[in-house]
Structure 1
Amino acid sequence: MSELPYVLVLFYSRHGSVSEMAKHIARGVNKVSDVEVKIRQVPDVADTTQIAKPALPDEGAPYCTLEELSNCSGLAIGSPSYFGSMAAPLKHFIDQTSTLWLTGQLIDKPACGFTSASTMHGGQEQCIHSMMTPLLHHGMIWVGLPYKNKELIHTMTGGTPYGASHLANSTNETTLTDDEKALCEAQGKRIAEITVKLRE
């Protein structure tokens, strides 16, 4: 019996908001038949030459391997917004994917992005763009979040047509609003549906 294709929910989270978003995106994926979900994170990087983290995380999702990325059928990628860009640990992981680019492992697979920032104009949309750019170089198909999701229109916190976002009231605020949860789940469901369709 062959394994089901899977959507990889890959993220870096420093204070917990992006990790919480990943769980809701996974719930959305799980609403779709014929596809599974794998939640994976990337480790911190050190600002010196010392090892930043142990081989296994103390808590949360396992660290992602290049093989898991290569074998996914769809990708949801998430990061906190740091000055309008993805966090260095996620960028470091993506920078290790040259072998996947050379062999075209991600071509024609759907991808989407999600992010969190602690200020209203903290670069959420630009952060999603920063994650989109290398994935377009990989030949992936970017999947946004359409306005049929009414939460995009009336949200007073996170939510963009480029991908789900969260507005934290403080650095350590990890509680998502109902609108943010709904948009994360809608994004997970949409990436899963498109993953299944592209494999038909």
Structure 2
Amino acid sequence: MNQAVLILYYSRHGATQAMANKLALGVEQTGLTARLRTVPEVTNNIGEQKSKVPEAGDPYVTLQDLHECCALALGSPTRFGNMAAPLKYFLDETSREWLSGTLEGKPACVFTSTASMHGGQESTLLSMMLPLLHHGMLICGLPYSLPQLHTTVTGGSPYGVSHLAQKATPNALSNDEISLCVAQGKRLAMFAKKLG
């Protein structure tokens, strides 16, 4: 069994990256390795070249990361109720992996961040599941046995972890959001172990 849980995210201002780090904490508490990866920006300027290596932060994802993972957590800020273009751009390039069944039967979860309470968190989470279902992945949400889902006034849903970026401290996760991120990481890793 591959031991790495791939946590693949795009983060514009750091909130989604903060969530990814907490999911990684949950994964590693189970004894599995969390592999944090991001995607490059996309541009409509044809002449502009992006570096193949990020200037800071986690490395860019490669298709090999998909082959080597035992599970996948996919995270993005909300863009009009959907995932951000850089993450979608990467997923659109995975047809060969789809045809070969690279991700088939592996567990997956999704997470998102928005700047407003009703900014499309749930529609983003649901739409992020669609390419994962096409890849044959098994979606792992959050159960209501987690008390934070009953009490949170920030982020969190049964579809996956979410974060409400408050204006004063947009990247600061609430205690409920941290607990749910860690729980999501643990749950994803638990399923990876059971299916491995």
Give TM class, smaller chain. Answer: over 0.9
- 1:15 is matched with 13
TM norm structure 2: 0.97
Aligned counterpart in structure 2 of residue 77 of structure 1, from 71, 74, 77: 74
Q: What is the distance in 2 between the residues matched to 1:40 and 1:152? A: 27
Match of 2:42 among 38, 41, 45: 45
* Distance (Å, rounded) in 2 between the aligned partners of 1:148 and 1:141: 20
Match of 2:129 among 132, 141, 150: 132
Contact map agreement 1:9 1:38 (CA 8 A) in 2: yes
Identify the match of residue 94 of structure 1 among 91, 95, 99.
91
- Is the CA contact 1:77–1:112 (under 8 Å) kept in the aligned structure 2? yes
**Structure 1 position 171, deviation (Å):** 9.1
**Count of aligned residue pairs for this structure pair:** 196
CA shift digits 1:128-179 (9 cap, x unpaired): 1111001100000000011111001000000010000000113971000000
- Match among 141, 146, 149 for residue 146 of structure 2: 149
Which one of 8, 25, 28 corresponds to residue 26 of structure 2? 28
Q: Aligned match of 2:188 in 188, 191, 194?
A: 191
CA distance in 2, matches of 1:157, 1:36: 28
Aligned AA (2:181)? C
Instruction: Indicate the percent of aligned positions where both proteins have the same amino acid.
Output: 51
* Alignment partners' CA distance in 2, 1:145 and 1:50: 43
Counterpart of 2:120, as a letter, is G
How far residue 69 of structure 1 moved from its aligned partner, in angstroms, is: 1.3
**Separation of aligned partners in 2, 1:191 and 1:48:** 38
Aligned partner of 2:171 among 174, 182, 186: 174
Q: Which amino acid aligns with 2:128?
A: M
Query: What's the TM-score once normalised by structure 1's chain length?
Result: 0.95
Q: Deviations over 1:12-43 (max 9, x none)?
A: 0000000000000000001102x211000001
User: Which amino acid letter does the alignment assign opposite residue 148 of structure 1?
Assistant: S
